[in-house]
Amino acid sequence: MDEELRGNLLVAQSGGPTTVINASLAGVVLEALNHDCIEEIYGGLNGVLGILSENLINLAEESQQVIRGLRQTPGAALGTCRHKLKQAQEFERVLEVFKAHNIRYFFYIGGNDSQDTANKIHHLAQEQNYELRVIGIPKTIDNDLPMTDHCPGYGSVIKYIATTVKEMALDHESIGNHDFVSILEVMGRNTGWIAAGASLAKSRGQPEDAPHLIYMPEVALSEEKFLQDVQSVLQKKPYCMVVVSEGVTDVSGNYLGASKQTDTFGHVTLGGVADYLSNLVQENLGIKARSAKLGINQRSAIHCSSQRDNDEAFICGAEAVKAAINGKSGQMIVLVRSSTDQYQTEVSLTPLSTVANEVKVFPQSWISEDRAGVAHQFFKYASPLIQGEVPIVYENGLPKFVKLKHYSVAKVLGSFVMAE
């Protein structure tokens, strides 16, 4: 499969945005320009939805400033979606669009659901003997993609959270004459990777630094233990700072504080646990408690994101193109950390089938003995991921972002009606 494959490239973004999802896009585009066998560089709008409806744009027409500025722009510049291709009819349509536009290189920047989609497209093309090279580019703030040491997007979200905790801690410390409990809710769904990242705010060897307690979904939370934990911190410190994952459950497996609402997929809307715990403290301990809920800002806060994360996301995009040029398909880019003391990563590939719908669990051995924090192995793992600051261009006091101009590619097929 090393022969040169001439044709067009299509890249799309899927799932929840991260601060570096556009860095990966920039990596794809800039690397693609180096290869003459790639004729056109197209972007699909809103993930597979844009492919189904033939909403493609020509990325090579965008100015160089815009492509460069993607690395300092949050959100998904191409638009994203949570649509999961299910019916054969939809997969057929994707291939039909690819054929109509002579797409020979397809890059999908996304999480596990999206890699599953990429895998199925890869197999369908093979079945139909349509030569197509499909490479997945990992993306998720949740860091729960398997096979890769860590996931682009993760370093930035935990840098923002650890910064926030470190700043809030100084505030709490300065008002600390009375007992005070501060509870910060972070994302991560059913894994504790993001909540764990808050621990980076602690100085090395300073266990008394905030955050004092971290609750992750990996450990069911008993309200009794929680209140004891808080009291125990307050015996030593005038304030207690708690970080809690939105996906924490009680011992019966029910989300704490989650709304009774479900979304269109039947998923419970997570969130509300910080308020819930805050009320618990006030009602049971009579101690002032205040909650904060970092919402979608944690995955869009590019003004406080990791340069290393941004660099790695960019490299993942560029390496995906190189792998495809070298004949690879049905693979996802992964980051492999060298075992030396100095942090170093190499890029490698893993079959999409090993990633699709799999989850990387937070190691139980990285949870501290008191079940309300993380062990030192986690520090060693996560600390390198937050290094460096992305330089942001400010205009009139606010970050300046770029916007793709959207040079539409002419449609050649009839419209496609999606089944509900």
Residues 2-21 contacting a copy of itself, CB under 8 A:
13, 16-17
Residue 389 Cβ vs a copy of itself, minimum distance, rounded to whole Å: 6
Determine, following the binding rule CB under 8 A, whether residue 302 of this chain makes contact with a copy of itself: yes
Residues 121-160 contacting a copy of itself, CB under 8 A:
159
Kindly state the number of chain residues that form the binding site for a copy of itself, as judged by CB under 8 A: 77
Among positions 38, 77, 145, 324, the unique one binding a copy of itself when judged by CB under 8 A: 77
For 395, phi then psi, to 5°, come to -135, 120
Distance of CA 322 to the CA centre of its chain: 23
Cα–Cα distance measured from residue 41 to residue 69, given in angstroms and rounded to the nearest whole number: 18
Cβ distance to a copy of itself smaller for residue 8 or 291: 291
For 33, phi then psi, to 5°, come to -60, -20
With contact defined as beta carbons under 8 Å apart, do 253 and 220 qualify? Answer: yes
Residues 158-217 contacting a copy of itself, CB under 8 A:
159, 162-164, 166-178, 182, 184, 200-201
Residues 359-398 contacting a copy of itself, CB under 8 A:
383, 386-389, 394, 396-398
Does an H or E element contain 24, and which?
Answer: helix 21-32
C-alpha distances out from residue 243 to 196, 216, 370, 373, Å: 9, 9, 15, 9
Cα–Cα distance measured from residue 301 to residue 382, given in angstroms and rounded to the nearest whole number: 18
> CB under 8 A: which stretch of 31-39, 81-89, 134-142, 408-416 binds a copy of itself?
81-89
C-alpha distances out from residue 225 to 153, 230, 235, 251, 324, Å: 33, 9, 15, 11, 52
Determine, following the binding rule CB under 8 A, whether residue 320 of this chain makes contact with a copy of itself: no
Structure tokens at 207: 């266990």
SS3 of 380-420: HHHHHHHCCECCCCEECCEECCCCCCCCECCCCCCCCCCCC
With contact defined as beta carbons under 8 Å apart, do 244 and 281 qualify? Answer: no
Helix (H, G, I), strand (E, B) or coil at 52: helix
Residue 275 Cβ vs a copy of itself, minimum distance, rounded to whole Å: 6
Cβ distance to a copy of itself smaller for residue 304 or 324: 304
Cβ distance to a copy of itself smaller for residue 112 or 306: 306
Q: Is 36 a catalytic residue?
A: no
Write each residue from 22 to 61 as x if it is in contact with a copy of itself (CB under 8 A), else as -, in one continuous string: ------------------------x--x------------
Residue 143 Cβ vs a copy of itself, minimum distance, rounded to whole Å: 16
> CB under 8 A: which stretch of 54-62, 209-217, 224-232, 265-273 binds a copy of itself?
265-273
For 303, phi then psi, to 5°, come to -65, -15
Cβ distance to a copy of itself smaller for residue 224 or 283: 283
Among positions 99, 303, 337, 371, the unique one binding a copy of itself when judged by CB under 8 A: 303
Choosing from 113, 116, 142, 309, which is the catalytic residue? 142
Among positions 8, 55, 80, 350, the unique one binding a copy of itself when judged by CB under 8 A: 80
252-258, long-range: CB < 8 A, 24+ apart:
253/220, 256/221
Determine, following the binding rule CB under 8 A, whether residue 259 of this chain makes contact with a copy of itself: yes
Cβ distance to a copy of itself smaller for residue 8 or 73: 73
Cβ distance to a copy of itself smaller for residue 351 or 399: 399
Pair type for strands 213-215 and 103-110: unpaired
E strand spans, 250-340: 288-293, 331-337
Determine, following the binding rule CB under 8 A, whether residue 71 of this chain makes contact with a copy of itself: no
Cβ distance to a copy of itself smaller for residue 201 or 323: 201
Pair type for strands 38-44 and 56-58: antiparallel
Nearest to 121 by CA among 111, 132, 113: 132
Residue 382 Cβ vs a copy of itself, minimum distance, rounded to whole Å: 10
Determine, following the binding rule CB under 8 A, whether residue 254 of this chain makes contact with a copy of itself: no
Residue 130 Cβ vs a copy of itself, minimum distance, rounded to whole Å: 28
Residue 374 Cβ vs a copy of itself, minimum distance, rounded to whole Å: 16
Among positions 359, 399, 407, 416, the unique one binding a copy of itself when judged by CB under 8 A: 399
Residue 162 Cβ vs a copy of itself, minimum distance, rounded to whole Å: 6
Residue 32 Cβ vs a copy of itself, minimum distance, rounded to whole Å: 21
DSSP summary character for residue 249: B
Cα–Cα distance measured from residue 16 to residue 139, given in angstroms and rounded to the nearest whole number: 9
Residue 306 Cβ vs a copy of itself, minimum distance, rounded to whole Å: 7
Q: How many CA atoms lie within 13 A of 154 on its CB side?
A: 28
Catalytic residue ranges: 142
